[in-house]
Structure 1
């Protein structure tokens, strides 16, 4: 049985990644504060509850793919740069991540069921050009970071520049054997800087 995914066109293939032009699509998302591995699990339960009927119209929706996870962007006030710049390791400190489910394509923002849970936000993901590296394996931070490093290096070598936070995409249910899982790491490409 095929699972719906966002629509995209592969515009160019590189040895370590491909460039995809994504059309706009809708997401249901939630922000959770936790470590990388646990954030996805906590958020999944919140979002699954929404699509399985915890909404005002009690509408059940089909599961789509992927489940996306990215670091939450700081939307705080911008302050003029000063010196020195200090860095301290966040030993044991949890991060904040935004996890999203792609909504089925038959909906618009106006027709999506209204969530009962205030932690669920509905929005449109705009069209964008993404560099995407596909890999298999376990859903671990180590596996993700290794592939993110390969992707960043390959993008630099291709003369492209990125914008925004990396996105971690998972396509399979948890019962899928680890060696058969489809995972992707994605970085948005700045359309103004192309070789």
Structure 2
């Protein structure tokens, strides 16, 4: 328990999903291809972005503390991702899928969630454009960084999907300096919508 809290508080030594970097035309973003991996996820609908992320994180934290079918502890990993699928129109609900990466030693057989709100997600290989920013991420600065990333990609003639997109965090809320956040936009594959 203390080790997990320490890892969450200090965000050091956490496992990260493996990816392959690709050459980028711009200095203000990266291109990464993430390998096929398992994540434990939960979807929160209709809430405001920051509230949804908080609610999802709390559900997932219980899971890694042993609230799963095996009663197994799961190491904290980074990053925490939030796939944001905005609702179409002013009164339609957005959905937010918050996810923790399953550690290497449990990738082959992740502990099954014991609550129906959680599920194990097998993410097939995917390529994203990544913009990194510091400070404490919130809905407003995430939107600003997403717009900057979109503008950079348009400037460089890159094909990307505008939705859904990821808001990604690497640090505990207790870490005050040198924070790392990202926004990810999916690369548009040739000949695919």
What is the SS of the residue equivalent to 1:106?
helix
Larger radius of gyration: 1
Matches of 1:88 and 1:29, distance apart in 2? 26
Per the alignment, residue 11 of structure 1 pairs with 22
Cα distance change on mapping 1:88 and 1:126 into 2, 3 Å: closer
Q: Per-residue deviation at 1:71?
A: 2.1
Per the alignment, residue 36 of structure 2 pairs with 24
* Structure ranking higher in helix proportion: 2
Per the alignment, residue 39 of structure 1 pairs with 52
Select which of 75, 83, 101 maps to 1:70. 83
Per the alignment, residue 191 of structure 1 pairs with 189
Cα distance change on mapping 1:15 and 1:118 into 2, 3 Å: same
Q: Per-residue deviation at 1:25?
A: 1.2
**What's the TM-score once normalised by structure 2's chain length?**
0.85
Preserved contact between residue 35 and residue 94 of structure 1 (Cα < 8 Å): no
Listed one character per residue, the Cα deviations across residues 6-59 of structure 1 (whole Å, up to 9, x for unaligned) are 101211132210111111111111011210111010000101111110011110
Preserved contact between residue 137 and residue 143 of structure 1 (Cα < 8 Å): no
Q: Map 1:153-192 onto structure 2 (within 5 A).
A: 153-163=151-161, 164-177=163-176, 179-192=177-190
Q: Per-residue deviation at 1:103?
A: 0.7
Q: Per-residue deviation at 1:88?
A: 5.4
Q: Per-residue deviation at 1:94?
A: 5.6
Uncovered stretches (5+) of structure 1, i.e. residues with no partner:
75-86
What is the SS of the residue equivalent to 1:4?
coil
Between the two proteins, the alignment pairs up a number of residues equal to 177
Q: Per-residue deviation at 1:96?
A: 2.3
Matches of 2:18 and 2:140, distance apart in 1? 29
**What's the TM-score once normalised by structure 1's chain length?**
0.84
Query: Cα RMSD between the aligned structures?
Result: 1.9
Per the alignment, residue 67 of structure 2 pairs with 54
Q: Per-residue deviation at 1:150?
A: 0.4
Per the alignment, residue 7 of structure 2 pairs with none
Matches of 2:173 and 2:72, distance apart in 1? 24
Matches of 2:190 and 2:106, distance apart in 1? 31
Per the alignment, residue 99 of structure 1 pairs with 98
Preserved contact between residue 69 and residue 167 of structure 1 (Cα < 8 Å): yes
Uncovered stretches (5+) of structure 2, i.e. residues with no partner:
1-11
Preserved contact between residue 37 and residue 107 of structure 2 (Cα < 8 Å): no
